Amino acid sequence: MGAKLDRAASGTANYVDERTSIGGFVKFFARKIFPDHWSFMLGEIALYSFIILLLSGVFLTAFYVPSMTEVHYEGPFATMHGVEMTEAFASTLKTSFEVPGGLLIRQIHHWSALLFIAAILVHMCRVFFTGAFRKPRELNWLVGFTLFVLGLAAGFTGYSLPDDVLSGNGLRIIDGIIKGVPLIGTYTSYWLFGGEYPGVDIIPRLFTAHILLVPGLILALIALHLFLVFLHKHTQYPGGGRSHRNVVGLPLFPVYTAKAGGFFFVVFGIVALVASVFTINPVWNYGPYDPSPVSAGTQPDWYILFVDGLLRMWPGWLFGLPTEWELWGYTLSLNIILPAVIVPALFFGIIALYPWIEAWATGDRGEKHVLDRPRNVPVRTGIGVAFIVFYVLLVIEGSNDIVANLFHLSLNDITIFMQWAIFLLPPLAFWITKRICLGLQRKDRELVLHGHETGTIVRYEHGEYVEVHEPLDAQETWLRVSYENYTPLEIEPERNDHGVARNGYRWDRFKQRLSRFYFEERIEPVTPAELEAARHHHGGASAHGKSDAAEAESADKRLDAEWNELDGDAKK
C-alpha cells in the first residue's frame, strides 16, 4: 500500500516535471530559510484578511444587485414594508435576512476589511521602526504603501455599496470634497456620478471598482510584494551569527508551511468569531438612502476617520479671516481642499518617500538585511512616533462627538484643543521619543561596560559597599554593540582650489543638513578597547566580589543562627 502510494506520487511528480520543469522551482523554494519573529506575522494578517475578503466577497456577489433601480420592499423584514429603495439596498436586506448565513458572511466581509487595513498599518509601522525599508527594499516599501492606498479605496468603494443612509452621506461628503477642487471639481463630480449627485450610475460604477479594478490591482501588487520578499530574502533581527550577508531561520517547508498556513486558519477563525458575535453595519436600522435625514454620532469606517478629523478641525474662520476665498469671482475653498486633499497628500507623500529621505541622510549604499533596534536610530523612531501621534489625534478628532459623549466634554472644546494639539503634540512626541531612545542607548552602553546588577552588595574591608556586577555574555554584548554608527555627512567645499563654484553643492548641503538632523546627537557603541578596559577594571573586582559575596553570605548565616538561638532562649 505504502509502496503503491509512493509509486503513484513519483509518477505524478515525473509527469508534471517533464512538462513544467517544476523540480528546480521546488528545490529552490522548499527549503528557503525564513527568520522567526512574532512581528513578521503582521503582514501575514493583512494577506490573510485579504484572502478572507476575496472568499466572502465572491459569496456576496452571488446575491447583491448593483443597481439603483427603484423597488418597493416586499421582503420579510416588517419595518421596511413598502418602503422605496434601490435594488442595491433591497438585495443587501435580502442577503442579510433571507440567505441563511448571508448576514454572517456580510459581517465577516466587513470585519476583515477593517482588519485588513489595520494590519497593513501596523505592518508598515513594524517595517518603519526596524528600518526594513532600507536598501534593497525601498521599492517594496513603495509597493506596500500603494497597497495601503488601494486598501483604503477598496474599503471606501465597498462601504458605499449597500446604499444606505450612512454610506449615501459618506458619498455626499466625497462629492462635496470633489466639488471643492479648483477648476475641475464640478466636472469631476459629474464624471463620477454620471451627472448630478446622486444620479443612477454611481452604485454600478463603484461596484465595478470594488470587485474588479481595485482588487485586481491589489492582487497584482501582493504578488509583486511577495515576489520581492522572496528575491530579497527576509530581513532578520540582530543577534549572534546573523549578518547582512546571511539569513538565519527555519525552512519554508515544513515549518513555515505549517506555521503560516496554520496562522491563516487562526486569522479566519478569529474573524469568524468576531463576525458571529458583534454586529457591524446593521443597514436595516439605518434605512435606504435619503438625502434628508442624518443623525449625530454616525461614523465612517475607522480608516476614513483621519480625513474626517482634518475636515472637522479646519475652521471656516481663522482669527476672523475666512479660509474660503473669493478671488476674481472664483471660489477657492481652502477649508475643503487643504484638510481633505493637500494635507493627506503631504502626509502620505512623506511616508511613501521616507526610505529615500533617510538614505540621503546616511549616504549609505550598502544592502541592509539586519534590522535596527528602534532605539539605535533615535531620530527615525522619533519621526515615526510623531507621525503616529499626528494620525491618532486626527482619528480622535474624527470621532470627537463620541469622545465628547463618553467623557462629557464640550464638542467645541475638543476641537479647539485639537487645533492646538495637532501642532504641538507631534513635535513634543518626537522630542520625548528621541530622548528615550538616547537614554536606552546610554543604558546599553552602561550594561556592556559594567554588566548586570546582581542585587548582591558586598562590603570591602576598608568599609566601602559595592554591588556585584555580572558581565554580559558574548551574545548579549553583540546585540548592544553591533549597530550602524553614522556620523553626519561631510561634503566637499563649495568652491574648488581655483575658486570655481561646483555643481550640486546646494544638494549636498541639503543632504548634510539632513544628516546633521539625524546624527548630530548620537551615542557611540562601545568599542572593543573600551570594553577591554572596563572588563579589566571590573574583572578583578568582580572575581574578588564573588568570593566576597560568598564570605558575606556565610557570615549572614552565622549571624542568623546565633540570633535564632538567642531568640529561642528568650522565649524559654
Partner 1 sequence: MSAPDNNHEHDSTTDPANGHENPGLPYHRPRRADQDPKADKKAERQVAALFGISILGTVIALWAYFSMNDADPGEVSEIQQVNMWIGLGLFLAMIGIGLGAIHWAKSLMRDHEMVEERHELRSSDESREGAIQHLKDGATDSGLGGVKRRGVLKGSLITALAIAPLAVLVPQIGNMGADWNVSKFRHTMWGPGVRLARDPDGALIRAADVTIGSVFHVIPDGLNDLDHHYLLQEKAKAVVLLVRLDPQDLNLQEGREDWSFDGIVAYSKICTHVGCPVALYEQQTHHLLCPCHQSTFDVANGAKVVFGPAKRPLPQLPIAVDDEGYIVAQADFDEPIGPSYWDRLKGGDSVPADTSEEGGH
Instruction: Give, as ranges, the residues between 280 and 299 that touch partner 1 (CB under 8 A).
Output: 284, 289-298
For residue 244, state whether it binds partner 1 (rule: CB under 8 A): yes
Would residue 387 be called left, alpha or beta, if left means φ above 0 and alpha means ψ between -120 and 50 degrees?
Answer: alpha
> Footprint of partner 1 on residues 6-65 (CB under 8 A)?
32-33, 36
Residue closer to partner 1 by CB (options 179, 516) is 179
Whether the CB-CB separation of 517 and 360 falls below 8 Å is answered with: no
> Footprint of partner 1 on residues 440-479 (CB under 8 A)?
474-475, 477-478
507-518 as b/e: b if 16+ CB within 10 A: ebeebbebbeeb
- Strand, coil or helix: what is 1? coil
For residue 521, state whether it binds partner 1 (rule: CB under 8 A): no
> Footprint of partner 1 on residues 128-147 (CB under 8 A)?
136
Residue closer to partner 1 by CB (options 70, 556) is 70
List 17, 51, 122, 179, residue binding partner 1 (CB under 8 A): 179
For residue 198, state whether it binds partner 1 (rule: CB under 8 A): yes
Q: Min. distance of Cβ 378 from partner 1 in angstroms? A: 16
Residue closer to partner 1 by CB (options 94, 468) is 94
Beta-bridged to residue 167, according to DSSP, are none
- The length of the chain is 572
List 23, 182, 427, 493, residue binding partner 1 (CB under 8 A): 182
For residue 243, state whether it binds partner 1 (rule: CB under 8 A): yes
For residue 76, state whether it binds partner 1 (rule: CB under 8 A): yes
Would residue 329 be called left, alpha or beta, if left means φ above 0 and alpha means ψ between -120 and 50 degrees?
Answer: left
In whole angstroms, give the CA distance from residue 471 to residue 531: 11
Whether the CB-CB separation of 373 and 124 falls below 8 Å is answered with: no
User: How many residues bind partner 1, per CB under 8 A?
Assistant: 149
Residue 78 is placed in which grid cell? 416588517
Cα torsion through 231, 232, 234, 238, rounded to 10: 160
Residue closer to partner 1 by CB (options 307, 385) is 307
For residue 377, state whether it binds partner 1 (rule: CB under 8 A): no
In whole angstroms, give the CA distance from residue 474 to residue 163: 63
Per CB under 8 A, the segment of 59-67, 123-131, 528-536, 559-567 that binds partner 1 is 528-536
For residue 483, state whether it binds partner 1 (rule: CB under 8 A): yes
- Strand, coil or helix: what is 4? helix
For residue 173, state whether it binds partner 1 (rule: CB under 8 A): yes
Residue closer to partner 1 by CB (options 290, 470) is 290
List 92, 333, 441, 542, residue binding partner 1 (CB under 8 A): 333
In whole angstroms, give the CA distance from residue 263 to residue 274: 16
- Element (DSSP H or E) covering residue 86: strand 84-86
Per CB under 8 A, the segment of 122-130, 363-371, 432-440, 493-501 that binds partner 1 is 363-371
* Residue type (1 letter), 296: A
- Rg for the chain, CA atoms, rounded: 31
Candidates 371, 354, 358, 385; CA nearest to 515 is 358
List 167, 335, 399, 441, residue binding partner 1 (CB under 8 A): 335
Candidates 101, 122, 114, 11; CA nearest to 59 is 101
Q: Min. distance of Cβ 446 from partner 1 in angstroms? A: 17
The pair phi, psi for residue 324, each rounded to 5°, is -120, 125
List 277, 406, 424, 500, residue binding partner 1 (CB under 8 A): 277
Residues in contact with partner 1, shown as a per-residue x/- string from 82 to 101 under the rule CB under 8 A: --x-----------xxx-xx
For residue 259, state whether it binds partner 1 (rule: CB under 8 A): yes
